Amino acid sequence: MEEKFEFPVYLEQTGEMRVLLLTSDEKQRALDDESYLWKLIRNQTEDVNEDDNDTNDSIMIVEGEEQDGNNDGKAEKNEWSEEAVLLFLDIYRKNEANFKKSKRHNKIWQEIANEINVHNESYHYSGLQCSTKMSGLKRTFKNIKDQNKKSGNHRSTWAFYSIMDSLFGAKAFMEPQAIASSAGPSKPSSACEVSSCPDSAADACASSGGVGIKKRKVELVLESFIEHVKTESETRTRKMEEYQKKRDEERRQREKEKNELKERMHKENLHFKNALLSVLQKQIQK
């Protein structure tokens, strides 16, 4: 199979960033032929949504981070807490490679949502919500990154900046190689092709250093959070076991008291019958 590379495309009319997986020949043709580029974008949209009933030819535009998609009654009021987002990003990191292996992205997003929901009974996220959330996180991260370049700052108070930087700081979508607009596709910028160089080289393209340290720091934060979730789960399990044990003990105690009462009543009844029989025998003897 011919090697494919990430080919970021910025949709000028909608402000959306798309990342296509193309061969070298497809990349060159996309840069020279706008109609071919739009065909690739439409094909990707159809592939991603192949499990949906929506057959519209228009490109699906995912709204911003603040407008999380909902597709069921439970999820309508299910907001994204900071802990939920951290868990989401950790699970996404583990499944990130699957998006390059398969075109069935909806299925992957749903698997991620299912894994999130298992961790907390109050979570009821859908695959669409996860996809929408990630789109919003990427948009926020890119805006902050662009602002930092303009202002010269390299810090942000955004809670997920470090994690997003470790995930996407070296990704090609941060610098689109083509812009789809009415004027036609633009030529590629001096961005790194992630698939054409090893991981260490991709990191070097993104910054002059420190990415490994950031990744380790983020991993420590995520490990701490996962450990916290695990501890809470174990605590709940232990409390449930203790509660069940207490109920079983109370049930055994009630059963014991019931049997003792039954035995005592039997003895008293037997004693009464013996006493009555003794009285009758004395009456007969008279």
Q: What is the 3-state secondary structure (H, E, C) of 215-284?
A: HHHHHHHHHHHHHHHHHHHHHHHHHHHHHHHHHHHHHHHHHHHHHHHHHHHHHHHHHHHHHHHHHHHHHH
Give the DSSP H/E element, type plus range, for residue 9.
strand 5-11
Over the stretch 129-155, which tens digit does the pLDDT of each residue have?
998 899 888 888 888 888 877 776 655
Token reading at 183: 């004027």
At residue 231, the pLDDT reads 81
Whole-structure pTM over 0.75, yes or no?
no
Q: What is the pLDDT of residue 69?
A: 41
DSSP class of 190: S
Residue type, 272: F
Task: From 140, 114, 144, select the one nearest 129 (Cα to Cα).
Answer: 114
- pLDDT at position 181: 55
Distance CA 143, CA 140 (A): 5
Residue 151 and residue 35: Cα distance in Å, rounded? Answer: 37
Supply the angle between the helices 211-285 and 161-168 in degrees, to the nearest 10: 120
Predicted local confidence at residue 236, as pLDDT:
83
Q: Which residues of the chain have pLDDT under 70?
A: 1-2, 10-18, 45-78, 152-157, 170-218
| The one-letter amino acid at 255 | E
pLDDT for 202 equals 41
pLDDT at residue number 182: 52
Q: What is the pLDDT of residue 31?
A: 80
Specify the DSSP element, H or E, that contains 213: helix 211-285
d(CA 19, CA 70): 24
